[in-house]
Amino acid sequence: MNYGKLNEDVYGRSVVKVMKETQNKNFYNGAEIGDFCAVFPCGGHAGADRPAKGFISAQASAGGKNAVIRSYEAALNGIVSKGVVPGKDDNAYASITLFIPKKLREAKVRAMLAETAKRAGELQIPVLGVAVQVLPWVDVETANCVVHMELDGKAKGKGASPGDDIVMTKWIGLEGTALIARSSRDRLRERYPSDIVETAAGFLDDISVLPEAATAVESGASDMQAVREGGLFGGLWELAAKNSVGLVADLKRIPVRQETIEVCEYFDLNPYELMAAGSLLITCPKGNAMVKALADRGIASAVIGTVTQGNDRIVRHADESRFLEPVRGDELYRYYEKKDGKEHSYENEGADFSDYRKEQQN
């Protein structure tokens, strides 16, 4: 199998089907394509006249540089995909499991946990449990974070509907760009000025989507999807799959930072399939109004497409159109394979948008 999340077919038959066919079917509500939160309702399901009660739980993993804080932020981002935004007065907490190789120094472990503890203090969503294990089969530090939150009075959005606009916050590929810049600083500095490389490395500061999620909920979002693995194309596919709808997205409307273009150009990567924590997809009836509401809070965003009837998921650029397909893997894994001198085990399919990259550079 390829690196990263299981593809849609395998996940459906080997995870969702298996879990639902056992006694878990009485509780199971969460592990679906594009919907990685679990909800445990208490006292019935939420409705128009009944607030949601129960618990919501999301988990995320990360490996390598800044693994702990990345898994923490990604788990929180997963919570908001349900239309639930943790606040300082909510009963929410996190637990972290960290697997590390024997060669890792204690100072590195302390630094990773201190970074996360500081962020948890800012959000007042504490980390109540940390398990750390040194394992002989682990080559790189790997963290898994689970966030649990009481759901009292909070309900998810109604779901995306045909005719809704699709708004994307911030820029594509932020997490992947930052990790590549941090891993290949010296190589990138041979071609680009140091300030470009350091700016790219600093994109990890922008991987939380909690601020835009709070604004989106207040401004009438019908659904949200936190983008991460598989990049923007993966996020668009998951958004459409979990809502059983189609979509049309316009590449020329998709915001991308110049630093991401430079990094992807150097390593011959597709920025639209590069790990993209920090971007939130929002569906809503009035996209321009949502963009204004976000801008008023200092959050960059753009209307990049429309939800459509049926199952066709289409990406357009000028006069060219292609059908979006489930993303297999992530360009970040391809980067690591190249870096380690290994052959890439899967191929990127679809139209070649290299001209668009050059257009953005100009």
Q: How many CB atoms lie within 10 A of CB 282?
A: 32
Q: Give pLDDT, residue 319.
A: 85
pLDDT for the residue 6: 62
The DSSP code for 167 is E
Triad 26, 27, 30: Cα angle to 5°: 130
Q: Which residues contact 349 (CB under 8 A, 6 or more apart)?
A: 325
User: Can 32-150 and 165-361 be said to share one CATH topology?
Assistant: no
User: Token digits for 9?
Assistant: 């077919």
Q: Assess if CATH 3.90.650.10 describes domain 165-361.
A: yes
The answer to whether 42 touches 58, Cβ cutoff 8 Å, is: no
pLDDT at 345: 37
Which residue ranges make up each domain of the chain?
Answer: 1-29, 32-150, 165-361
Q: In what order do the strands lie in the sheet with 37-41?
A: 37-41, 54-63, 142-150, 92-100, 127-134
Q: Measured between alpha carbons, how far is residue 360 from residues 90, 173, 211, 261, 357 in Å?
A: 42, 15, 28, 8, 5
Helix, strand or coil for residue 361?
helix
Could you say which architecture CATH assigns to the domain 32-150?
Answer: 2-Layer Sandwich (3.30)
In this prediction, residue 89 carries a pLDDT of 65
In whole angstroms, give the CA distance from residue 219 to residue 212: 10
Residue 17 contacts by C-beta under 8 Å, 6 or more apart in sequence? none
pLDDT of residue 360: 47
The one-digit pLDDT tens for each residue of the chain (362 residues) are 666 666 666 666 665 565 566 655 555 455 555 556 666 666 554 444 445 577 888 999 999 989 999 999 999 999 888 888 877 667 889 999 999 999 999 999 999 999 999 999 999 999 999 999 999 999 999 999 999 988 766 656 679 999 999 999 999 999 999 999 999 999 999 999 999 999 999 999 999 999 999 999 999 999 999 999 999 999 999 999 989 999 999 999 999 999 999 999 999 999 999 999 999 999 999 999 999 999 999 999 999 999 999 999 999 998 899 999 887 889 999 999 887 654 433 333 334 444 444 554 44
- Is 61 buried (19+), middle (13-18) or exposed (0-12) by CB count in 10 A? middle
pLDDT tens-digit profile of 78-100? Answer: 988 888 887 766 788 999 999 99
Q: What is the pLDDT of residue 11?
A: 61
Two structure tokens written together for 103: 């060669």
